[in-house]
Amino acid sequence: MRLTGLQELITTERDTILNELAQGLRPMSQGVEWFDAHDPDEQAETLLFLRHHCVQARASAVLITRGPIDMQLGKIADLTPVDERRKAFRPLVAVLSIADERRRERFCSGGCGHWWHHLAVADRG
């Protein structure tokens, strides 16, 4: 599937990598290596984007729903010690993976226009 010009502007390498991780198209070890290569500000931004992607995928998890899901995921994404960020990265990718899979089953099983649901067949040239 080819992305339109607008989709290409909106889609970043970060979004593609995060979605590939969530869909199991990229090994977590590669994702952690990619995450570790970023400076602390970029890592913090990545965690915030992961939080956003989880909310957009309609994540729900019993252990983190003691309040609005966005706030609970925000607590994970807002961890400030740099050594805690890697610990936050893995569970946020896992939450996105589960939420996105459910979303695809419930809302996109008949097909959809979400570019991230077509990564396995996307033209990466």
pLDDT at 47 over 70: yes
Which pair of structure tokens corresponds to residue 100? 């996105």
Task: Work out the angle at residue 94's Cα, subtended by the Cα atoms of residues 74 and 16, and round it to the nearest 5 degrees.
Answer: 85
* CA neighbor of 37 nearest in space, from 51, 17, 54: 17
Q: pTM of the full predicted structure?
A: 0.65
Q: Model confidence over 1-31: pLDDT tens digits? A: 455 555 454 557 888 899 899 889 999 999 9
Upper half-sphere CA count for residue 83 (Cβ side, 13 Å): 0
pLDDT at 122 over 50: no
Q: Model confidence over 69-80: pLDDT tens digits? A: 666 666 666 666
Domain boundaries, the chain: 5-121
